[in-house]
Structure 1
Amino acid sequence: MFVKNRQLLQLVGQLMGEASHDAAPLLTYITWHVVRTLAPMTSHPVVRQQFGGSRVATTVYMLGRCYVDADAALPFAFAHVFARRWLQAESVRDVAAMEEHIRHEANASMAALPWMDSGTKGVALKKLSTLRTIVGRPAQLASDQALELLYPYLAALGSGGSYLDLMNSVRSMQLRYAKRLLRTNGSAGSDLSVPLTAVNAFYLPVYHVMVVPAAILHPPFYVAGYPQSYNLGSLGHVLGHEMTHAFDPDMGLYDRDGRRRDWWTSASRASFQSRLDCLRQMYNSLPWAEGLQYGDYALTENFADSGGLLKAYRAFRTLEGGTRHSPPAALAGFTDQQVFFLSSCFKWCSTEEKQGPGWYSPPIMRCNVPLMNMPEFAEAFDCSAGKIMNPVARCNFM
């Protein structure tokens, strides 16, 4: 048996023990959840019943379910199909170069940190230099032949049977393959647990790798042919954000080998904590928070947003005046510096329902708070001193 969640299994065992005198209600509850999970894989009529007989809702759901199931069962093959059609090799090279520029500036900034002692700084710089980056998809899995070797068990699947039988067979074979993989060194990056077609990016501390899926290399995050000021402010900010996660309050406790250990000295940790406290208080006190404690709920993401924008901005300043493209009409009249800041916020533009606190602060805060902490923004847009976007007190991690 392959247990993905040991704590959940322990909880079920505990509940079964407590209900040993009358386990029927618990067993009925578990059975219903199994049925509810598997029912959509049986037939359209069963799914249609769940949607009150609506054919349109059923079709939309089934299409979405097929997408999710295919992505979960064969993530690298699914990404391969997407990349073959929509991923441009030039975009991959451009984004990889962008990441290198940001990393170079991050290295220089970290080396000059006055509040971090030399011992902690040495470990941090080594962690930054050994960070692997995957842009688009893993290079070693970018061919049909490589994917056939990765999914050898698919050849044993027949074309008959129900969709439910097919999915159960795939999952069973995946688990057996994973069990064999545990006994070998495996293929680097062949078990990354991230959706490679997601419009997102990820830092995985156990692998010490940053993943930039193919789906995010498109507007509004990245626009081929647009000025560097735009792409660095938008996608460059995302790259800097994920890079910063390697040193955030949670994932910064992992070393470059993916082992969880605190490599900070107590003095450097205390200096870092005081700066985090500043950021926490700023987010909690702003009017956009509407009384919610985003400074606490989303601290690691807030830190990555602010640190990531600063990294991207420094890369932009070193590249400013280099290769240029004619700005599109929408950006006419803005300086390169203004375009950088505008694009850092444009990607967060959205309409959303009000929700309770989660992993992230609201888009309006993700846009504005990192800018508030950068005097360069206030200078670029001539913000009056003391106004909300040009505060007297800022949070500084440099």
Structure 2
Amino acid sequence: MTPYQRKVANATLCCSVSVIGFVVVTIAALAINQRARQSDDVLSCSSERCASATRYLSAIVEQDLHPCVDIHQHVCGMWTIRRHGAGFVSDAFGLFLRRFRSRLLQADDAVLGERMTPVVQIGKRLLEDCFEYMNATNPVLQRDISSLLYVLNVSSLLASESSSSALVRAMAISFTTGFHSAIVIARRKLDRGAYLHLLNAPSIRQELRAEPTDKYVETYVEDVVRHVAATSDAATIARDVLDVDSEVESFAELDVRHQWLTYGEIKEDAKFPKGVWSSVFQLFGEAGLTVADTDVLLFTGYEPTRRVFQNLTSAPVRTTVWYLTVTLLAQALRYDFTRRFRSAHYRETSYLCFDAVSSALQLHWHIVLRELVVGNLDDGISELNSMFYLIHKITVPDWLDNDTALQARQKIDQTSLETLAPSRSAVSGDVNTMYLQHASAAMAGSDRHFTGSYVTLRLASQQEAMLREPPNAVTARMTSLWAHKGPVYDVLYDKVFLPPVFLVSPLLYDDRKAPPFLYGTVGAALAKALSDAIGPYARWNATTPHTSHKTWWSSSKVFDAQLRLGCLRTRADEDVLRHPERAVHPRTSEAFKSSAFGWVRAARVAHDAMKGAHYDGGNRFTRDKYWPRAQRQFFKRFCLLSCGTERQDPLRPQERCSWPLISMPEFVAAFECRNESYKLLQETCTPF
């Protein structure tokens, strides 16, 4: 090869190597960039609804206030102003109700099949009647009372000559109508078969949804008494009735647990007025429910109910009779009370009207809710179940001793998630709605007055549930929580019940690429419910007593939990910082300490579960790059849950947001906080 040929060959080789090298580098760069984009997609929303949530959250945060200074005000300041104090979940619930009403009214009556047509048809009509009723001007109480008494006959109760006979007659009315008096009476079924479920009843004030200091309650009760009996002594009766009601409210603070009893045992219980239960069960038999002394029933709130019965039998007969009568009527008059004395906000009206339809059509309305509002959630439910599984695995704290940790793990392992996710079998199964045909005809005869229609449907549903087709206990419990503002752990069923508002945006997104959105809200709420199940003051099971000196935790670990909370409070509790020598009683209650434990653990567990989901597969390096952004999104979403939650939790909204986060080193690192208070807290306090 000549020198010239050698030069040409070398030049060609160098050029080829350069081109190949350039191509390789370009391909590698494109691959890295693509992986980065894919990783970015993992942390971004692909659906428009979820993407709008990113913009929405960025729009409400207070940009001039750094999260390290006040994370609660940073997230909730603008929110509270723009939403007039409404909580984030409450606001989401309002959106949920608007969607529900819109889809229901636009749907064909036969949208869920022929068998469900009466349910949809009657539900639409009752809902619109309720809205019209709530928005009516110049309401006339006499018309409501007349319409109510036309369907709900209380004349025999008013004629009672003794407190015991009044109790018996009131419970007979409750059995046939579903409106409670001194006790709630329901019938449910589980694997063991159908059983009677007795529950302690809420007070009149609770039924009217009145504030504890509401001055209008006494005036309203006085008007009700006057319209029912035309007595000149209505004012005195109203005062006496509400005095008893205050006692009932105080009894509700007693230990409420579940007890399985036989009918024979409860009839012989000397703590109740003599002969009352024998007479009541005899009337139940005459109404169509025959039971034997060896049959079992479930009694929830035995002790509070016993106190109520004793209080009513010791009160003057007139007071007892009117208390039971007003309690029965209040459940139908709560709508009138609200439109008269409370702000007619659309959210409030919507809730009351949908709750009326849910109660009136208790056996089947959950199917309408499930199919029309929650909709198709195949991907969303899969993501929800995966999230619950990850949270479920790490709920038990690693600082518990072996025995306590073992028991906590046993409780968690037997706890499952219950939702109103769509189910084909719920619609296509054997749904019997024949009983509604008679109710529909009766509604037509009530001149479509809402109160009369509502009571008529309650009676029809109660008769079906008590005598022919009792609802499944778990389904009934899920249905009763349809409007709850958070997941509920129920020790009776060992389940976490997730209300339907947590199955739709802006809480749950049908999007696999947005862990910070899911874990910051729904995940944290689920973690709180599971933490409630294993907290230091949680029941071991549904039938064990719940007292301050009895817990399945070891005493050393209860003390340990109190020390951890105490240390956190010395650094973060405004009451302690201002008055370190003063022990504020509500801050030392079991409810307060349980809530603090639950929320602090919820933030830790949800965060760590999200971390597991974030790093599940993919390139570790590129995911590390976006992890701080995911954390910041998570912490902000977590605080959104606390916005506008006054009086909903023993912890104040600011405490629900900040206490769990300031004790987490991850929060400090994500926002690069340099506050000395954070450093001091993490150096001196042991985390939950």
Matches within 5 A, 1:20-99: 20=316, 23-39=317-333, 47=336, 51=340, 64-74=351-361, 77-87=364-374, 88-99=377-388
1-structure distance, mates of 2:345, 2:501: 26
- Residue in structure 1 matching 2:573, options 268, 286, 309: 286
If asked which structure has higher relative contact order (CA below 8 Å, sep 6+), I would say 2
Contact 2:535 2:597 in 1 (8 A): yes
- Name the TM-score, length of structure 1 as normaliser: 0.74
- Residue in structure 2 matching 1:376, options 646, 651, 666: 666
Aligned position for 1:308: 602
Aligned position for 2:684: 393
2-structure distance, mates of 1:215, 1:49: 23
2-structure distance, mates of 1:276, 1:74: 46
- Name the TM-score, length of structure 2 as normaliser: 0.45
2-structure distance, mates of 1:371, 1:385: 13
Deviation at 1:264, TM superposition (A): 6.8
Contact 2:371 2:422 in 1 (8 A): no
Does the residue aligned with 1:235 lie in a helix, a strand or coil? helix
Contact 2:642 2:657 in 1 (8 A): yes
2:316 is the counterpart of 1:14: no
* Matched AA of 2:461: V
2-structure distance, mates of 1:142, 1:278: 48
* Matched AA of 1:136: L
CA-based RMSD: 4.0
Aligned position for 2:516: 229
Does the residue aligned with 2:498 lie in a helix, a strand or coil? strand
Does the residue aligned with 1:310 lie in a helix, a strand or coil? helix
Task: Work out the number of aligned pairs and report it.
Answer: 360
Does the residue aligned with 2:489 lie in a helix, a strand or coil? strand
Matches within 5 A, 1:160-239: 160-161=442-443, 162-163=452-453, 164-176=455-467, 187=472, 189-192=474-477, 194-225=480-511, 227-239=514-526
Contact 1:384 1:390 in 2 (8 A): no
Contact 2:524 2:602 in 1 (8 A): yes
2-structure distance, mates of 1:383, 1:24: 65
The superposition leaves residues 21-61 of structure 1 with CA deviations (integer Å, 9 ceiling, x where unpaired) of: xx3344344434444443468xxxxx499739x9x959997
Does the residue aligned with 1:249 lie in a helix, a strand or coil? coil
Contact 2:411 2:534 in 1 (8 A): no
* Matched AA of 1:121: A
2-structure distance, mates of 1:39, 1:122: 50
Contact 2:412 2:534 in 1 (8 A): no
Contact 1:203 1:211 in 2 (8 A): yes
Matches within 5 A, 1:251-330: 251=538, 253-255=539-541, 258-260=542-544, 268-280=554-566, 282-283=568-569, 286-287=573-574, 293-294=586-587, 296=589, 297-322=591-616
Deviation at 1:233, TM superposition (A): 2.0
* Matched AA of 1:144: V
Deviation at 1:301, TM superposition (A): 1.9
Contact 2:442 2:456 in 1 (8 A): no
Deviation at 1:156, TM superposition (A): 6.4
Does the residue aligned with 1:383 lie in a helix, a strand or coil? coil
Structure 2 residues not aligned, in runs of 5+: 1-170, 172-184, 186-197, 201-301, 444-451, 619-625
The superposition leaves residues 314-338 of structure 1 with CA deviations (integer Å, 9 ceiling, x where unpaired) of: 11222224479xxxxxxx9961222
* Matched AA of 1:160: A
Task: State, as a whole percentage, how many aligned pairs show the same letter.
Answer: 15
* Matched AA of 1:377: F
2:426 is the counterpart of 1:143: yes
Aligned position for 1:328: none
Aligned position for 1:329: none
Deviation at 1:281, TM superposition (A): 6.0
Q: Which has the larger radius of gyration?
A: 2
Does the residue aligned with 2:405 lie in a helix, a strand or coil? helix
Deviation at 1:373, TM superposition (A): 1.9
- Residue in structure 2 matching 1:349, options 624, 643, 664: 643
Cα gap change, 1:18 to 1:158, in 2 (>3 Å) = same
Greater helix share, structure number: 2
Does the residue aligned with 2:476 lie in a helix, a strand or coil? coil
Does the residue aligned with 2:431 lie in a helix, a strand or coil? helix
2-structure distance, mates of 1:142, 1:196: 20
Contact 1:196 1:213 in 2 (8 A): yes
